């Protein structure tokens, strides 16, 4: 049934025209609006799965898309990474209705710092333009790791400073998909260590935290979760903060502390291509 519907809508030979290459496909509506964007390491094989979808629960979305679509657009890419980046870009710009549940998870978060009335404010957000008083770092590619590392940092600083209840942060706007934390009784050395850590220029923050937490009885009583939180911050440094700094330096943007998501992906592709050329020339 699915194969007959697919062939009737898109042509019995449609898949023969699709390359066996990485790329992005778009299911289109009657006005050629994009209903769904997907990516595949092998476009023809992926679209054949749509053509041969059965009534199994795992194939339900494929059947819905074939039934809803009036057209199909295919774009091949030079690599699976390039396909992933293009998919991300199209979902953010087009907001296709069948992708909308995952659209916010594809936004890259950033982390902001500011000093306000002798308090240290931190935020993790995908909307830095709505919090202009913060100095932002990023954008970081892994939403999961960035948010978990931010949560771990807030937990650890809670042992060292005085956390302000969220309900009292009335001087800051409520921004969707944003977490803000304020700490009092933290001296200026913390701001410097945090800034260098998120810039990717120094991981001294980890040592600073470990030594300070050793002096806190509550932190010593919870040694295992404290150690896990420190390890998560180290993972963030290894996978997000330091690689972003290296890419900025390699791309001639070492003076920047922040670049938008739309700038970040092309920069990493450019740096990766540069490194491949250098390896070939050696």
Residue 42 sits in a domain of what CATH number? 3.40.1440.10
Q: Are residues 65 and 25 located together in one domain of the fold?
A: yes
Overall number of domains in the chain: 2
Q: Are residues 124 and 247 located together in one domain of the fold?
A: yes
Q: Are residues 117 and 98 located together in one domain of the fold?
A: no
Q: What's the pLDDT tens digit per position in 144-200?
A: 999 999 999 999 999 999 999 988 888 899 998 899 999 999 988 999 999 999 999
pLDDT score of 268: 82
Q: Are residues 167 and 73 located together in one domain of the fold?
A: no
Domain stop point among 57, 83, 105: 105
Closest CA to 237 of 205, 277, 192: 205
Q: What's the pLDDT tens digit per position in 33-51?
A: 999 999 999 999 999 999 9
Domain stop point among 72, 90, 105: 105
pTM of structure: 0.68
Q: Are residues 120 and 188 located together in one domain of the fold?
A: yes
Length in residues, the chain: 282
Q: Are residues 12 and 113 located together in one domain of the fold?
A: no
Q: Are residues 175 and 234 located together in one domain of the fold?
A: yes
CA atoms within 13 A on the CB side of 150: 26
Q: Are residues 61 and 133 located together in one domain of the fold?
A: no
Alpha helices in the chain (DSSP H): 2-10, 43-51, 60-68, 80-94, 143-160, 188-199, 204-214, 217-221, 223-236, 242-250, 261-281
pLDDT at residue 53 greater than cutoff 80 = yes
Q: What's the pLDDT tens digit per position in 81-112?
A: 788 888 878 887 888 988 865 555 567 899 99
The per-residue DSSP string of 153-189 comes to HHHHHHHHSEEPPGGG-TTS---TT-EEEEEES--HH
Q: Are residues 256 and 186 located together in one domain of the fold?
A: yes
In this structure, are residues 206 and 234 in contact, taking their beta carbons and an 8 Å threshold? yes
Q: Are residues 111 and 90 located together in one domain of the fold?
A: no
- Of all residues in the chain, what percent carry a pLDDT higher than 90? 67
Q: Are residues 250 and 125 located together in one domain of the fold?
A: yes
Mean pLDDT of the chain: 90
Domain stop point among 105, 120, 145: 105
- Residue-range definition of the domain harbouring residue 267: 107-281
Q: Are residues 92 and 180 located together in one domain of the fold?
A: no
Tell me which DSSP letter residue 109 carries.
P
In this structure, are residues 136 and 128 in contact, taking their beta carbons and an 8 Å threshold? yes
């Amino acid at each position: 049934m699915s194969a007959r519907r697919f062939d009737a809508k898109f042509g019995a030979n449609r898949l023969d025209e699709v390359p066996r290459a990485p790329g992005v496909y778009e299911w289109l509506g009657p006005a050629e609006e994009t209903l769904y964007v997907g990516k595949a390491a092998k476009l023809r094989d992926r679209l054949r799965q749509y053509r041969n979808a059965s009534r199994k629960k795992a194939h339900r979305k494929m059947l819905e898309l074939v039934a809803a679509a009036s057209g199909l657009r295919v774009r091949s890419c030079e690599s699976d990474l390039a396909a992933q980046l293009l998919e991300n870009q199209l979902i953010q710009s087009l907001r296709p209705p069948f992708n909308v549940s995952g659209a916010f998870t594809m936004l890259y978060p950033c982390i902001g710092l500011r000093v306000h009335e002798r308090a240290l404010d931190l935020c993790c957000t995908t909307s830095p333009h709505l919090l202009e008083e913060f100095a932002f770092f990023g954008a970081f590619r892994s939403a999961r790791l960035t948010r978990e590392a931010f949560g771990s940092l807030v937990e650890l600083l809670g042992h060292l400073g005085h956390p302000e209840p969220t309900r009292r942060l009335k001087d800051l706007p409520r921004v969707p998909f944003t977490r803000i934390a304020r700490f009092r009784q933290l001296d200026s050395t913390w701001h410097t260590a945090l800034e260098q850590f998120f810039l990717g220029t120094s991981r001294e923050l980890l040592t600073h935290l470990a030594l300070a937490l050793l002096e806190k009885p509550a932190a010593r009583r919870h040694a295992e979760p404290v150690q896990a939180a420190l390890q998560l911050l180290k993972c963030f440094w290894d996978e997000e903060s330091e690689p972003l700094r290296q890419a900025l330096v390699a791309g001639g943007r070492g003076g920047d502390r922040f670049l938008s998501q739309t700038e970040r992906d092309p920069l990493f592709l450019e740096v990766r291509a540069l490194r491949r050329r250098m390896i070939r020339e050696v």
